[in-house]
Structure 1
Amino acid sequence: MVRRLRAEGLDFVGTAPVRMVFAREVSVSPERVFQALAADVSGWAEWFPAVRSAEPLDGGAGRDIRLLGGTRFRETVLAAKDPELYAYRVDVTNAPLVRALVEEWRLVPAGAGTQVRWTFAADGPGPVRGALRLARPGLGRSFRDAVSRLERRLTTPS
């Protein structure tokens, strides 16, 4: 890990220069989705294909994330409000040029399940902002695939 990012709070999700929101409904309760996000951090690698490993730090106050391709994040959990909100910011990364990054997962009851809404909020110089905007379709596919895998994981009997 080589770069410390700007320490943003939860309000950055609404004010970031680059803000992407993705949503999908699943047939699982908000409580079960929240537990998979916040309590089973290591399990992220089993349902989010871009995540190679995820480990909780400091009793759940932080996370160490390794993505496919070698990107690493050391994160601080900003909010863990069961069953509605899980959010974190990246404090340290090996990703070049990014200045700030916060991700928020909102869980809203929807029929017999949950609407999962992921907001990716970031800042960087102009070329990074442009590259992130171009990455939107890929991030959307990654989100949809991950949430589909999470739904299967939570609804398949063990």
Structure 2
Amino acid sequence: MWLFFVFVAVPIIEIALFIQIGGWLGLLPTLLIVIITAALGTHLVRSQAIATFGSLRESLETLQNPTEPLAEGAMILFAGALLLTPGFFTDAVGFLLLTPWFRGHLYNYLRSKIKVRKTQFRTEYQQSQYRYSKKDRGPIIIEGEYHEENRNSNKRDD
């Protein structure tokens, strides 16, 4: 239900902000701001994504838990999608997601809400002293059906 609310509320907020800011600044400055924030956001997303992938690579090479760099990468990706979406509200949330301190707080909050369970499986294998051979199986019987086909049946005897 909350997702439906988000999909309805965000466009309404964006339209209201476009009307307000467009009324204050005019059409051309409003469009310029939207284009500039998209370009700036793309540049910031790219630079932060490169740094985050470096952090992810380092954590994988040192066999550390890669959860935080993966979560940061997902937040940066989401920020990029928000910054490419035209609008002032989505730009504000996107730029907020690009700040490392906010991502850290959001990661800690989400980590406290998610429960991780660890499951272990254990199997045992015992080798039997008895070995099977062809003698133990008995005769090999292959069942099936067949019918004979005469190759000359297509020719007519006139």
TM-score, structure 2 normalization: 0.26
Hey, which of these two has a bigger chunk of strand by percent?
1
Higher helix share: 2
Greater RCO structure (CA 8 Å; 6+ sep): 1
Tell me which structure has the larger Cα radius of gyration.
Answer: 2
What's the TM-score once normalised by structure 1's chain length? 0.26
